[in-house]
Amino acid sequence: MSAAPTNAPVVLGGGVHPFGRHVGGQWRDWVRHAGAAALADAGLAPADIDAVVVASETDFLSLQVNPGPVALAELGMAGKPVVRVEGGGASGGLALREALAQIMSGLYRRVLVIGFDAASGHLTAEDVQLVYGLSFDAETDGMAGATAVALYALSISEYMARHGATAEQLAHVSVKNHANAIGNPWAHKPMSITVGDVLASPMIATPYRKFDCSMASDGAAAIVLAAPAHAPAADRMRSRITGSGAGSDHPRLGDRPDRHAFRAKTRAARAAYAMAGIDDAASAFDAAEVYDAFTGAELQSLEALGLVAEGTAGPAMADGRFDAGGPLPVNLSGGLIGQGGVPGATGIAQAVIMDRLLGGRGHGDNAGRDVRRGVIDVHGGVCTNAVVHVMERVEP
Amino acid sequence: MSGAPTDLELRLRYAHGAGALQPYFDALVDGRALASRCPNCGRVWFPPHLHCPDDGGACGWVELEGQGQVVSATETHGRLPLADAVAEHVFVLVAMQGADNAAFGRLKPGPGGQDPVGRRVHLIGISEPPPHPAQAALFELLEED
ipTM: 0.96
DSSP codes, A285-314: -SEEE---SBHHHHHHHHHHTTSS-TT-HH
Backbone angles phi, psi at A312, to 5 degrees: -115, 5
Calculate the CA A311 to chain-centre distance: 23
**Using a CB-CB distance cutoff of 8 angstroms, which residues of chain A are in contact with residue B132?**
143-144
> CB–CB of A133 and B5 under 8 A?
no
| Closest chain A residue to the Cα of B43, Cα to Cα | A255
**Using a CB-CB distance cutoff of 8 angstroms, which residues of chain A are in contact with residue B137?**
140, 144
Cβ-based contacts under 8 A for chains A and B: 111
What distance in Å separates residue A154's CA from the closest CA in chain B? 6
If we measure between CA atoms, which residue out of A299, A291, A254 comes closest to residue A160?
A: A299
The count of other CB atoms within 10 Å of the CB of residue A275 is: 21
User: B27 or B3: whose pLDDT is higher?
Assistant: B27
Secondary structure (3-state) at A40: helix
Cα–Cα distance for residue pair B53/B47, rounded to 1 Å: 12
Residue B127 reports pLDDT greater than 90: no
The reply to whether the predicted model has a pTM over 0.80 is yes
If we measure between CA atoms, which residue out of A199, A308, A232, A301 comes closest to residue A41?
A: A232
The count of other CB atoms within 10 Å of the CB of residue B144 is: 6
Quote the Cα angle for A208-A213-A215, to 5°: 155
DSSP codes, B97-138: TT-SS-EEEEEPP-S--S--TT-EEEE---SSPPSSGGGG-E
Cα–Cα distance for residue pair A146/A301, rounded to 1 Å: 21
Strands B67-79 and B44-45: unpaired
Please report, as a single letter, which amino acid is at residue B145. D
- Cis-peptide into A207, omega within 30 deg: yes
B74 CB within 8 Å of a chain A CB: yes
> CB–CB of B104 and A144 under 8 A?
yes
Percent of chain A having pLDDT more than 70? 99
What distance in Å separates residue A203's CA from the closest CA in chain B? 8
> CB–CB of B137 and A121 under 8 A?
no
pLDDT, chain A, mean: 97
> CB–CB of B73 and A146 under 8 A?
no
**Using a CB-CB distance cutoff of 8 angstroms, which residues of chain B are in contact with residue A259?**
71-72, 93, 102
What distance in Å separates residue B112's CA from the closest CA in chain A? 14
The pLDDT confidence band at residue A4, using thresholds 50, 70 and 90, is confident
**Using a CB-CB distance cutoff of 8 angstroms, which residues of chain B are in contact with residue A250?**
53
**Using a CB-CB distance cutoff of 8 angstroms, which residues of chain B are in contact with residue A151?**
104
Percent of chain B having pLDDT more than 90? 81
pLDDT at B4: 86
The pLDDT confidence band at residue A357, using thresholds 50, 70 and 90, is very high
HSE, CB side, 13 Å, CA atoms: give it for residue A370.
1
**Using a CB-CB distance cutoff of 8 angstroms, which residues of chain A are in contact with residue B106?**
144-145
